[in-house]
């Protein structure tokens, strides 16, 4: 348990992608996972959506490059069901700026005016209590993947290249030893040149255990699931940007949700009280949802891992030799994991991520006044 080049904390999709790309470059990699199996954190709880419809170039490209990789990966089970964003009047002009940037970066996204969106799709543009919808945008390459399958596939590849996975092993503390890190775990002492923090919603806590301040906090999110729909038909993942209500098909059912910004901290279990405020806005825009029945037992919850600006923290921790962060994805880590794995391998092996400029996502942004503002956060 000593002499690792890199010790990764967390065997979710991010830790797994990093383990694979680091092992591929010949490094000796260990992965610590507190749970009895991989993908039991947020990765196994996600809504599995991938989309290029972000408003910041770094987020657009992280997702786009990852989608390209998932497209080639059988275990990812990528299905381009599309993402349809319904955009209210007040956000329309800024939203179109985001679309212009997406198109300039070469990613597929189409603008639909209100009439075209309505012909194609059943919603009420004027709904009680909600801002009127002005138009819609559609990402034909956006869709869904199998996050669990991706995570296990990366770990399988990493282990085939010599990486070692320690499940049931909790990271307890770490201190620098002059060459790298001495890491205390529930399985004993490990040593490594680098520690890579991929602990998802627990990344802030992992930082505190190494006496580092890493601004990642948990936020509970609910996914409500209907009973089988009598006549299921194809539907894109749809988000009403006026309320944050989203839904998509899941086999013969629909799943839906809406973020509760007040639901912070490690609260556990389903918050059924959040169903009513979710349905209130959902039914106003999509009245046909009323015909569907809820399946309480098929609904689930998990943690977003949020940072102050809802963007991930990537790369070397300033002033702390040998500590690298890949955490704080704020609800969009599945769709960025593939590219993050490549970038973190470059960051450690070459000293700096090279395939994409990750400056806007580095920890240093919290030391500056100006931060990255991503508008399309759900
Ligand atoms: C309801 C919901 C819907 C979502 N929908 C989407 C979506 O549609 N698209 C998308 O891209 N993203 C989505 N996300 C977000 C996505 O799931 C996360 O961004 C992503 O899974 C983060 O992966 P991760 O590997 O960083 O974290 P995790 O999967 O949480 O992995 C972190 C791992 O670290 C382990 N760990 C923690 N502390 C320790 C310790 N001390 N020692 C050892 N191990 C430790 C945990 O057990 C865990 O397995 C959603 C999340 C939720 C909850």
Contacts of 331 (CB under 8 A, 6+ apart): 221, 259, 304, 305, 306, 310, 377, 378
pLDDT in tens, 257-280: 999 999 999 999 999 999 999 999
Is the CB–ligand 1 distance for residue 171 below 6 Å? Answer: yes
Residue 206 sits at φ, ψ, to 5 deg, of -60, -40
- Please report which confidence band the pLDDT of residue 59 belongs to, taking 50, 70 and 90 as the band edges: very high
Q: Which atom of ligand 1 is nearest to the CA of 63?
A: 11
**Considering Cα of 329, then 82, then 280, then 147, what sign does the dihedral take?**
negative
Task: Supply the pLDDT for residue 235.
Answer: 86
- Please report which confidence band the pLDDT of residue 1 belongs to, taking 50, 70 and 90 as the band edges: low
Question: How much is the average pLDDT of 293-321?
Answer: 97
Say how many Å lie between the CA of residue 42 and the centre of ligand 1.
Answer: 3
pTM comes to: 0.96
Is the CB–ligand 1 distance for residue 42 below 6 Å? Answer: yes
- The proportion of the chain whose per-residue pLDDT surpasses 90, expressed as a percent, equals 92
Contacts of 105 (CB under 8 A, 6+ apart): 57, 60, 61, 64
Lowest-pLDDT range of 116-125, 157-166, 288-297: 116-125
- Please tell me the residue having the least CA distance from ligand 1 atom 10: 332
pLDDT in tens, 313-371: 999 999 999 999 999 999 999 999 999 999 999 999 999 999 999 999 999 999 876 66
Is the CB–ligand 1 distance for residue 46 below 6 Å? Answer: yes
- Please report which confidence band the pLDDT of residue 119 belongs to, taking 50, 70 and 90 as the band edges: confident
Quickly list H helices, 254-377: 275-285, 337-349
């Amino acid at each position: 348990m000593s002499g690792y080049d890199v010790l990764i904390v967390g065997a979710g999709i991010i830790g797994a992608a990093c383990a694979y790309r680091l092992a591929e470059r010949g490094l000796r990699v260990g992965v610590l996972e507190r749970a009895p199996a991989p993908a039991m954190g947020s990765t196994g709880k996600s809504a599995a959506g991938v989309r290029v419809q972000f408003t910041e170039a770094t987020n657009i490209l992280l997702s786009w490059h990852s989608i390209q990789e998932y497209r080639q990966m059988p275990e990812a089970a990528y299905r381009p069901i599309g993402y349809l964003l319904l955009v209210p009047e007040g956000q329309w002009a800024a939203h179109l700026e985001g679309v212009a940037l997406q198109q300039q970066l070469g990613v597929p996204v189409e603008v639909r005016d209100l009439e075209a969106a309505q012909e194609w799709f059943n919603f009420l543009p004027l709904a009680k209590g909600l801002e009127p919808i002005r138009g819609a945008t559609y990402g034909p390459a956006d869709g869904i993947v199998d996050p669990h399958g991706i995570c296990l596939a990366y770990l399988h590849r990493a282990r085939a290249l010599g990486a070692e996975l320690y499940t049931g092993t909790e990271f307890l503390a770490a201190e620098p030893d002059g060459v790298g890190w001495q890491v205390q775990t529930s399985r004993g002492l490990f040593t490594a040149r680098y520690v890579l923090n991929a602990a998802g919603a627990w990344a802030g806590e992992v930082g505190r255990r190494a006496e580092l301040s890493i601004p990642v906090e948990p936020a509970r999110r609910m996914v409500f699931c209907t009973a089988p729909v009598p006549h299921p038909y194809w539907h894109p993942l749809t988000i009403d940007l006026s309320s944050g209500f989203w839904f998509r098909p899941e086999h013969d059912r629909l799943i839906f949700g809406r973020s509760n910004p007040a639901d912070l901290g490690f609260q556990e279990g389903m918050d059924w009280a959040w169903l009513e405020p979710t349905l209130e806005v959902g039914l106003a825009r999509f009245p046909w949802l009323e015909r569907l029945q809820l399946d309480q037992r098929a609904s689930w919850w998990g943690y977003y891992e949020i940072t102050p600006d809802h963007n991930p923290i990537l790369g070397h921790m300033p002033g702390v030799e040998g500590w690298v962060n890949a955490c704080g994805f704020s609800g969009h880590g599945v769709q960025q994991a593939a590219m993050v794995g490549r970038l973190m391998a470059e960051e450690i092996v070459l000293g700096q991520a090279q395939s994409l400029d990750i400056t806007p996502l580095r920890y240093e942004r919290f030391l500056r006044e100006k931060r990255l503002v991503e508008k399309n956060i759900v």
